[in-house]
């Protein structure tokens, strides 16, 4: 597969949260709340993609209202949390947005992402993904989860299509 061509055809980004938008670490408060950190450059990239008409979709098994609020504030409209079957959710999204597999980049990091990644046009992962995910990824970011891997793939797509903001200065 020509990876460069695969990046150029993308109009939809789908991201997992834990291990992709976060570093997989959870801070557990005394009350049992789970806190996560996210990278601001990933947020900038997501906002840039949305501003240029790309679809950004979140599919996560987690149920953090903080995560939903952060992504909503960036303008992400398609946030699916507490998802048990990511492949079924992907197929539903694909139908709703009239997408072809070759238009979709999915970034995941662990076994729960495997089935979706086997179906999308461009399966990607952070550098610290599980071995099974690394083995099926067309592109492995040089960045780890929660440290700019989302920015890496979004920036590649937007630059190839002359949509990256820095190209217009």
Segment 76-127, tens digit of pLDDT: 999 999 999 999 999 999 999 999 999 999 999 999 999 999 999 999 999 9
Using pLDDT thresholds of 50, 70 and 90, give the confidence band for residue 63.
Answer: confident
| Domain membership flag for residue 78 | yes
pLDDT of residue 35: 64
168 inside domain = no
Residue 169 lies in a domain: no
Per-residue model confidence (pLDDT) at position 70: 95
Q: Which domain range does residue 11 map to?
A: 3-161
Note the Cα 138 to chain centre separation in Å: 14
CA dist., res. 169 & res. 12, Å (int)? 25
Number of domains present in the structure of the chain: 1
Q: Is the pLDDT of residue 169 over 70?
A: no
Q: What's the chain's length in residues? A: 169
Tokens of 128: 């610290």
167, part of any domain: no
Tens-place pLDDT, residues 4-47: 788 999 999 999 999 999 997 667 878 877 767 778 999 999 99
Closest CA to 17 of 79, 103, 88: 79
State both tokens at 129. 């993904």
Q: What backbone phi and psi angles, to 5 degrees, belong to 167?
A: -75, -10
The pLDDT value recorded for residue 119 is: 97
pTM of the full predicted structure?
0.93
pLDDT at position 97: 96
Domain annotation covers residue 18: yes
Beta bridge partners of 104: 12
CATH number at residue 61: 3.40.50.1000
Is position 166 within any domain? no
pLDDT class of 167 with cuts at 50, 70, 90: low
φ, ψ dihedrals at 59, nearest 5°: -125, 115
Measured between its terminal Cα atoms, the distance across the chain in Å is 33
Half-sphere exposure of residue 55: CA atoms within 13 angstroms, side-chain side: 21
């Amino acid at each position: 597969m020509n990876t460069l061509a695969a990046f150029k055809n993308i109009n939809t980004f789908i991201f997992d949260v834990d291990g992709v938008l976060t570093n997989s670490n959870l801070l557990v408060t005394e009350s049992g709340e789970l806190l996560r950190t996210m990278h601001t450059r990933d947020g900038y990239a997501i906002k840039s993609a949305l501003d240029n008409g790309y679809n950004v979709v979140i599919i996560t098994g987690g149920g953090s209202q903080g995560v939903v609020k952060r992504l909503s504030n960036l303008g992400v409209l398609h946030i699916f949390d507490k998802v048990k079957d990511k492949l079924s959710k992907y197929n539903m999204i694909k139908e709703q947005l009239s997408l072809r597999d070759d238009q979709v980049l999915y970034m995941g990091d662990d076994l729960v992402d495997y089935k979706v990644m086997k179906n999308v046009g461009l399966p990607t992962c952070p550098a610290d993904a599980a071995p099974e995910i690394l083995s099926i990824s067309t592109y492995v970011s040089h960045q780890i989860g929660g440290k700019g891997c989302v920015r890496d793939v979004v920036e590649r797509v937007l630059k190839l299509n002359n949509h990256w903001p820095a190209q217009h200065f």
